[in-house]
């Protein structure tokens, strides 16, 4: 059983030399790519590149349900979601890491749930992220000397386009960072009682600053900061306890009607 799963985002298409690659079929189709199994500092880990090995899935077409289902099928209990995000605040600078603590959903048409009836579930999302993993990743990033924010509200837009200036000014009123992929990945993980932590790397100032973001800028800044994500994973993953004391799985007891 592999207990830890990593979903890599833009610019993160592999984080270890795989020992094995598993083609998983799920009731929701195939994941974005075959699941890679390998080790990080002696800990067994599964990896899926969210957008596919060659970035062939745009954010609104990512097979989110298949990705989460496949990891769950392999025994994964804890998911680490890596994302590139735009900044909506001056003090969240390109190259900074954010251990997201809240999100606001501005997506429009995705497959948000595993429960489309006859089984009906209403999952609690008040605190969407695993407190145990958030603490480990924040403290480890600090120890490594990386610029890191302990909190941040992520507004998730539908994409694939970036925001207009008017949208960006509106989002700035109530969020810190912006991306296109956190939802429904985090919701789906919770529906299966899995822990989820979001490690966001700030790549740009969205479109409210002088020069509006473009895709090339995101990939360039991600490439420059990839080493931070790699080092963080290497140091934090061995610190994740085998047994979960976070209560993330408790939602399963009360979410069904």
Q: Are 213 and 88 in contact (CB under 8 A)?
A: no
Q: Are 48 and 42 in contact (CB under 8 A)?
A: no
Considering CB distances under 5 to 8 angstroms, the limit depending on partner class, which of ligand ADE, ligand LNRAV4D5, none binds residue 178? Answer: ligand ADE
Annotated binding site for phosphate: 10, 50-51, 83-84, 181
Considering CB distances under 5 to 8 angstroms, the limit depending on partner class, which of ligand LNRAV4D5, ligand ADE, none binds residue 206? Answer: ligand ADE
Which position's Cβ is nearest ligand ADE? 86
Interaction site with ligand ADE (CB under 6 A)? 84-86, 157, 162, 178-180, 203-204, 206, 213, 218
Binding mask 150-189 for ligand LNRAV4D5 (x = CB under 6 A): ---------x-------------------xxx--------
Interatomic CA distance for residues 93 and 97, integer angstroms: 9
Binding mask 92-131 for ligand LNRAV4D5 (x = CB under 6 A): ----------------------------------------
Interatomic CA distance for residues 190 and 187, integer angstroms: 5
Interatomic CA distance for residues 230 and 140, integer angstroms: 12
Choose between 32 and 203: whose C-beta lies nearer to ligand ADE: 203
């Amino acid at each position: 059983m592999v207990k830890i799963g990593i979903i890599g985002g833009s610019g993160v298409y592999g984080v270890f030399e795989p020992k094995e690659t598993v083609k998983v079929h799920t009731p929701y189709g195939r994941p974005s790519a075959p699941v890679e199994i390998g080790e990080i500092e002696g800990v067994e880990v599964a990896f899926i590149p969210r957008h596919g090995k060659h970035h062939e899935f745009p954010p609104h077409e990512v097979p989110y349900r298949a990705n989460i289902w496949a990891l769950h099928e392999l025994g994964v209990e804890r998911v680490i979601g890596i994302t590139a995000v735009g900044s909506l605040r001056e003090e969240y600078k390109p190259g900074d890491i954010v251990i997201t603590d809240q999100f606001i959903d501005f997506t429009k048409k995705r497959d948000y749930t595993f429960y489309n009836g006859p089984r009906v579930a209403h999952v609690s999302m008040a605190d969407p992220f695993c407190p145990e993993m958030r603490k480990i990743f924040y403290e480890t990033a600090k120890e490594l000397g990386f610029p890191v924010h302990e909190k941040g509200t992520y507004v998730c837009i539908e994409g694939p386009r970036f925001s207009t200036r008017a949208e960006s000014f509106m989002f700035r009123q109530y969020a810190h960072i912006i991306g296109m992929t956190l939802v429904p990945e985090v919701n789906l993980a919770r529906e299966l009682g899995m822990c989820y932590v979001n490690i966001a790397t700030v790549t740009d100032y969205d479109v409210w600053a002088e020069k509006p973001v473009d895709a090339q800028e995101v990939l360039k800044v991600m490439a420059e900061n990839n080493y931070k994500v790699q080092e963080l994973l290497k140091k934090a993953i061995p610190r994740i306890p085998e047994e979960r004391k976070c209560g993330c799985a408790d939602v399963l007891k009360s979410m069904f009607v």
